[in-house]
Structure 1
């Protein structure tokens, strides 16, 4: 009863503009589509309850929202907190649920006058639909439309900075401060020219205090598993692929991936034995999904391949770059600024990697080791926030046991399971995977395997278990 009374009292005290602000600040958790029907604070709180963002005994997110919109009276009277307490709380790493990007846009909207807003709408006349630039449209509405059009995002502030420079340079300064603080370069906030060249060099050499990607949503996102096992169609349809074996052991890999990413709060979506066209259709489905209330996207590809492509079970090819670039900010707006992670179990060539020194691993290796056709790197988009984990170096084979799964995927899953609870970031984990896999040996061919990650991540990527 006390919980319901608190929510009721707060909802009665909020006006329409404040409700709009709360909805905007919550866009990473409640997508626009879900917000459209919300016209009063009670309905908004009900959605937060359904999403698990607030509950009796845990009103941290509601406290943060009230703090962000400067309703300190409600924060104190209804939730027993204060400005000072919230400032201390939000300094704790991982505690803030409202993204810095979203809060920046809200602060800008609060500082934009009516005349300046008219200027924004005028300058955006060719970019946004006329119906979205009516007198009733607020600055928050304009920001939302800019995001929909792909001209505004956490790592895409160029258009906004250009507009602010023309309209009000004080707004531009806020954006520049946000960009600098984002990477922890607090020393670089000093105006250019106030330092000697020596001082600038010293500041540039300081290590960055890297921020971590937001990873608090439940679920975190989708883990898509494309698992191709039976290649009978390929052998029948394409004569030159008649020696392409079924990928025995791949289901062991898929099960391990499902288990570990399920534990990490991802929605597991596995698809088996897909043709090339089916792979494209599945990828397009998830490209078109609304990921606004998710923090990450993971795709695991288990298949045969050759240079730059993977095979469908019909022997037809799909370019790996076609899969990864489907999820760039331009092609999937709701994943802009969020980490996109791809793990690929496949060979990158026919060569077998020789070790300088051959050592015997403890225990017997499974004698039924197989290679996963050929594959090639150069598939990661140049855009930020991508990670591509490859099973092996370019030109070399990777190994898969028909009973125990592949060396790479099994090691990856084991290290994720052991290291994520300790808060280790993904690049540290992949380095450990490199070390473990490189120690294994294909005794029959005296050959080894070395995985290779490639990335354009801007922040630490950590998968919390809790």
Structure 2
């Protein structure tokens, strides 16, 4: 295809948001003053061509830009490359033009992790330093715009990150840690080693997404490479596309249970559950984590067993992980189908052991169960429980946590609540547990070093335990149990 026709076709596939990101990453090559008149991606490409950054026989910088802004679809469709090819390519020393060691790429990564509310906080904290007329009007709409205005006013530069660090400390300390790690690299105190697969206890969104930080002195010490390889084996492989299947079993309508099982006549429909599943929280976050979403709704016990067996028998060899989210009413050690029939949680998890599902052997199997595990019932109008009983009795059943998860390795079971207790669900906003889980996954997985799943679940425990049903002072404490053998991290890139 004609070179300029190719650039035009690529520019047609990019959004205004993509153009903002591309211009920001190209500031080393096209100064801000020159960028002011660039209104579309084609004009940016032509400007880069004039500066020798794009040529008919060398599209490496264009490929890198598309990779950096995560437009893998355009990279694949228009330039016949792939994420895996770029990860390999950019591991070659000196090949990256937008280097993760430069402040420009660090700032872009920071901007990617800023929420709308955090952006408002940034504007507020900078109101004395930056012109009010710009901060209040349409000129400053994104975090990239804020960063550019800071650069203009001398508040931000390669060797001047003081203001940036001060604000990050107030808004999100994880961003501060990202900057401090960058400064360590720049000072030569530590150096980034890129290794195949996931290496090290600190994984970043660096050149290939899988990077290991080691000390400068350790780099030259005997045995360092062996140590790197050893650390690499301490993390589950997580780079397949997609990562795996995220199976969502979402029960809302329990009218059949009420009509067919006399003792369950008080079982309510699970209003608010679709804020957890469907097109909402779970689907959104696991799509970002590169999982293939498979949702099934309003399932009887027989339906749940059938679907579980169907996915157990699938070939998962091309995937690195399996996730199953079950949202239903429950009791100790069981979940209910919409017909009121019980299914032991252990029966569902055991379906995916290495013996029953060989293609997932050695790979992490993650289950999130949103259901009560006891019969303490919380009465209320806006807050309901995923429980089945109407009295306040509590049965002692210490066997639950030992029986629900298989003895085999590589399982994680995230329970919304501890044994004997109810879990809470807002009829409009969804369940406390799933909403908190999704929020922390979305916030922590894209961070510079990435958070492992157990750290994320610890943060979820903390947040949910602080919540309070004001009507009856009800509380909830989630409880994970696991037989994981390695760290489990869901990288975004």
- The TM-score normalised by the length of structure 2 is 0.52
Unmatched 5+ stretches in structure 2: 2-78, 93-191, 200-225, 389-396
Q: CA deviation at 1:97?
A: 8.7
Is the contact made by 1:352 and 1:448 (CA closer than 8 Å) also made in structure 2?
no
Which residue pairs with 1:234 in the alignment? 257
Q: CA deviation at 1:230?
A: 0.0
Which residue pairs with 2:438 in the alignment? 413
Counterpart selection for 1:446 from 465, 473, 483:
473
**Residues 391 and 59 of structure 1: is their aligned pair in 2 closer, same or farther, counting only changes over 3 Å?**
closer
Taking the aligned partners of 2:475 and 2:252, their CA distance within structure 1 comes to 24
Q: Deviations over 1:46-75 (max 9, x none)?
A: xxx9995765x6655999xxxxxxxxxxxx
Equivalent residue runs for 1:122-141 within 5 Å: none
Is the contact made by 2:376 and 2:387 (CA closer than 8 Å) also made in structure 1?
no
- For the aligned residue pairs, the C-alpha RMSD in angstroms reads 3.1
Counterpart selection for 2:387 from 365, 370, 373:
373
Which residue pairs with 1:268 in the alignment? 293
Equivalent residue runs for 1:168-187 within 5 Å: 184=230
Does the residue aligned with 2:266 lie in a helix, a strand or coil?
coil
Is the contact made by 2:197 and 2:237 (CA closer than 8 Å) also made in structure 1?
no
1:224 maps to 2:325? no
Which residue pairs with 1:429 in the alignment? 456
Is the contact made by 1:392 and 1:449 (CA closer than 8 Å) also made in structure 2?
yes
Which residue pairs with 1:391 in the alignment? 416
Taking the aligned partners of 1:50 and 1:338, their CA distance within structure 2 comes to 30
Is the contact made by 1:228 and 1:303 (CA closer than 8 Å) also made in structure 2?
yes
Taking the aligned partners of 1:286 and 1:331, their CA distance within structure 2 comes to 11
Is the contact made by 2:308 and 2:348 (CA closer than 8 Å) also made in structure 1?
yes
1:211 maps to 2:234? yes
Q: CA deviation at 1:183?
A: 9.6
Equivalent residue runs for 1:322-401 within 5 Å: 322-351=347-376, 368-373=382-387, 376-377=400-401, 378-401=403-426
Is the contact made by 2:197 and 2:238 (CA closer than 8 Å) also made in structure 1?
no
Which residue pairs with 2:274 in the alignment? 251
Q: In terms of mean alpha carbon deviation, does 372-381 or 393-402 score higher?
A: 372-381
Taking the aligned partners of 2:410 and 2:90, their CA distance within structure 1 comes to 26
Taking the aligned partners of 1:59 and 1:308, their CA distance within structure 2 comes to 46
Which residue pairs with 2:196 in the alignment? 95
1:283 maps to 2:308? yes
Taking the aligned partners of 1:96 and 1:414, their CA distance within structure 2 comes to 26
Taking the aligned partners of 1:51 and 1:276, their CA distance within structure 2 comes to 45
Does the residue aligned with 1:387 lie in a helix, a strand or coil?
strand
Taking the aligned partners of 2:343 and 2:81, their CA distance within structure 1 comes to 37
Q: CA deviation at 1:95?
A: 2.5
Taking the aligned partners of 1:266 and 1:232, their CA distance within structure 2 comes to 32
Taking the aligned partners of 1:345 and 1:441, their CA distance within structure 2 comes to 18
Q: CA deviation at 1:307?
A: 2.2
Matched residue pairs, number?
A: 276
Taking the aligned partners of 1:224 and 1:369, their CA distance within structure 2 comes to 26
Equivalent residue runs for 1:77-116 within 5 Å: 92=193, 95-96=196-197
Shift >6 Å, 4+ stretches? 180-183
Is the contact made by 1:53 and 1:61 (CA closer than 8 Å) also made in structure 2?
no
Q: CA deviation at 1:316?
A: 1.2
Does the residue aligned with 2:274 lie in a helix, a strand or coil?
helix
Is the contact made by 2:248 and 2:325 (CA closer than 8 Å) also made in structure 1?
yes
Q: CA deviation at 1:278?
A: 0.7
Does the residue aligned with 1:321 lie in a helix, a strand or coil?
helix
Taking the aligned partners of 1:382 and 1:300, their CA distance within structure 2 comes to 20
Taking the aligned partners of 1:329 and 1:51, their CA distance within structure 2 comes to 35
Taking the aligned partners of 2:430 and 2:281, their CA distance within structure 1 comes to 9
- The TM-score normalised by the length of structure 1 is 0.55
Q: CA deviation at 1:212?
A: 1.2
Taking the aligned partners of 1:350 and 1:94, their CA distance within structure 2 comes to 50
Which residue pairs with 1:101 in the alignment? none
